[in-house]
Amino acid sequence: MASNFFAFSEQPQYSSQPNQKFKIDGFKFFQGTLDMLKGIIATSDKQPSKTIPSSALSAFLGAHALCHENGILPADFNIAMLEKTTGVKYDSIRKGFQWCVRKAWITKTMIDGTLHYKITGYEEFNNSKSEKPRYEDNEEHKLSYFRVPKAVLTTGILGQLVHNKDTSGIITLLEFCNYFSRQLMNTKENISDYECVRKMSYLKKVLRRKPHQIRQYLTDVIQKIFAIELKIVQERKPRERADRKRKPVVQLVVSKVKLVLTELCAKVNDDLKKIDEKIANFSKNIADVLRYASRKIQKQDMEDIRNAFRDEVGLIMSYMEKESDRKALYRDIFDIVCRYIDKTRMEGTRIESIGGFIRDALRKAVDIWKNTPETRLIAHDVAVRYAQEHGEYPAFILRGRNNN
Residue 138 belongs to a domain with what CATH number? 1.10.10.10
Q: Is 231 helix (H, G, I), strand (E, B) or coil?
A: strand
Count of beta carbons in the 10 Å neighbourhood of residue 224: 16
Kindly state whether residues 147 and 216 are assigned to the same domain: no
Q: Residue 166 pLDDT > 50, yes or no?
A: yes
231 and 276 belong to one structural domain:
no
Predicted pLDDT at 14:
33
pLDDT tens for 323-337 read 899 999 999 999 999
Domain boundary among 140, 161, 185: 185
Sign (positive/negative) of CA torsion 230, 55, 120, 74? positive
pLDDT in tens, 68-116: 878 899 889 999 999 999 999 999 999 999 999 999 999 999 887 888 9
Question: Residue 288 above 70 pLDDT?
Answer: yes
Judge whether 294 lies within some domain: yes
Does residue 104 sit in the same domain as residue 162?
yes
| 149 found inside a domain | yes
Q: Is residue 372 part of a domain?
A: yes
175 and 274 in a common domain: no
**Range of the structural domain that residue 388 is part of:** 270-398
Buried/exposed 306-325: b ≥16 CB within 10 Å, e otherwise:
bbbbbebbbbbbbbbeeeeb
pLDDT tens digits, 22-60: 889 899 899 889 998 999 999 998 999 999 999 999 999
Q: Are residues 310 and 322 in the same domain?
A: yes
Residue 199's SS3 state is: strand
The answer on 117 and 211 residing in a single domain is no
Evaluate whether residue 404 is within a structural domain: no
Residues 204 and 135 in one domain: no
Clarify whether residues 278 and 251 are in a common domain.
Answer: no
Q: Does residue 190 sit within a domain?
A: no
| Residue 12 falls inside a structural domain | yes
Q: State whether 262 and 287 are in the same domain.
A: no
- Is 204 found in the same domain as 172? no
- 144-165 pLDDT, tens digit each: 788 999 999 999 999 999 999 9
* Contacts by 98-104, CB closer than 8 A, 24 or more apart: 99/53, 99/55, 99/56, 99/59, 100/56, 100/59, 100/60, 100/63, 102/2, 103/1, 103/2, 103/5, 103/56, 104/2, 104/3, 104/5
Rounded to whole angstroms, the Cα distance separating 209 from 214 reads 7
Reply yes or no on whether the pLDDT at 20 is more than 90.
no
Could you report the per-residue pLDDT of 172-228, keeping only the tens digit for each?
A: 999 999 999 888 888 888 999 999 999 888 888 888 888 888 888 988 899 999 998
Q: What is the mean pLDDT of residues 311-326?
A: 89
Are residue 261 and residue 354 in the same domain, yes or no?
A: no
C-alpha distances in Å from residue 257, one per residue of 204, 218, 378: 12, 9, 43
Q: Is residue 393 part of a domain?
A: yes
* The predicted structure's pLDDT at residue 143: 56
Query: Collapsing DSSP states into helix, strand and coil, what is residue 340?
Result: helix
- Distances in Å between the Cα of 151 and the Cα atoms of 27, 123, 156, 261, 321 are 11, 25, 9, 12, 21
Domain total in the chain? 3
In terms of domains, do 176 and 205 share one? no
In a domain, residue 403? The reply is no
